Amino acid sequence: MQNKVAIKFLVILLLIGGKTSATGEEIIKLIPLHHIKGKMEHIGFQMKATWMDGTIELRFPETLDSEKGMHFIDHYRADMLPLSEMETYPEWNVNESTGEISYSYTTKEGIEFGGIVNSTDDEVHIEFFVKNHTSEPVRKISPQICLALDNSNDFNQLSVTSDVFIWSGGKYLSLDKTTPTVAEKGRDPLLVIAREGFTEIEAVGKTKIDKPGSDIGTWWLVNETSDEDIIVRESRDKKHLVAISWPGDTSFLIYNSLNPCIHAGPSIQFTIDPYRERHWYGTIYLIQNNPDQLFERYKNGKRYN
């Protein structure tokens, strides 16, 4: 009887995308988001490490746009309406033997997009793809992928910058050291950080990001630049961190202190020729708070497109 119960429990874990170690201990649980018909919602999944209070969520993607317009957006904006309505949201596929989860969706204009996700002991490996099923090139295509922290008590502090970090000028730099400061701006931090070497940057909806220190609506572009394609947040107790990276595909980073969320791309725009496709590879880290170890993993973990 006990063996039957154990087998049933393992099957349940696999069905929700959970993965277990050799000892049977849960590693990182992947929880695909399900949808209510007719409601505009996120396409994504939640993640939970054994030590976490609550979950974090990847909006996968939050938006997908190109020169043609908005192929997908998971919320309403009057200035960013989608080219076509999503009548039925895609369902996640779960590989019961590996714990891998995946989905794909094809828009009415012939653009297919989707994701593939796997977890290890303390990392989540993410692959996002776009396929052009049309006879015309799709230019300046760019996904916006958001790591939302609001459902985790470990990472959901609001209106602070001291626990969010980048590598800048060869140093591990907290965002409260960037300029213009919060005090100078007189409002809650909504920060854009350019990747070193990128000057002509466009955000979602092809919004132009101007010179350092300038406003982008309620956001501002800091003077400092990031050396790397990764952004980090410490847990409240300083024992763990969460980080996201899209190595080789980042022109700017984002920290929203009000949602809160962090972004590390992929933000470099590409052209996808007719009947061709593009894949992006990223990693989410849920590890002990050791920036040196994180940096080594990040440098050794790049997966090429």
Q: What is the pLDDT of residue 184?
A: 94
Q: What is the pLDDT of residue 4?
A: 44
Q: Using alpha carbons only, what angle is made at residue 74 by residues 234 and 182, rounded to the nearest 5 degrees?
A: 40
- 8 Å CB contact between 161 and 131: no
Q: What is the pLDDT of residue 225?
A: 96
pLDDT at 7 over 90: no
Query: Residues 6 or more apart from 172 whose CB is under 8 A from it?
Result: 165, 291, 295
The predicted model gives 138-166 an average pLDDT of 97
Distances (CA, A) of 199 to 44, 50, 212, 221: 31, 41, 9, 11
SS3 readout for 114-176: EEEEEECCCEEEEEEEEEECCCCCEEEEEEEEEEECCCECCCCCCCCCCCEEEEECCEEEEHH
Model confidence, pTM = 0.90
Q: What is the pLDDT of residue 18?
A: 53
Q: What is the pLDDT of residue 5?
A: 39
Bridge partners of residue 104, in order along the sequence? 114
Instruction: Count CA atoms closer than 13 A to 194's CA, side-chain side.
Output: 21
Percent of the chain with pLDDT over 70: 89
pLDDT at 12 over 60: no
Q: What is the pLDDT of residue 8?
A: 39
Residue 285 host element (H or E): strand 277-288
Q: Average pLDDT of the chain? A: 89
Per-residue pLDDT of 28-73, as tens digits, reads 999 999 887 667 789 999 999 999 999 999 999 999 999 999 999 9
Per-residue pLDDT of 213-250, as tens digits, reads 778 888 999 999 999 999 999 999 999 999 999 999 99
Query: Pairing relation of β-strands 277-288 and 123-132?
Result: antiparallel
Q: What is the CATH number of domain 2-300?
A: 2.70.98
Domain extent listing, the chain: 2-300
Most confident of 16-30, 84-98, 242-256: 242-256
| Structure-token pair, residue 167 | 């590598």
- 8 Å CB contact between 104 and 91: no
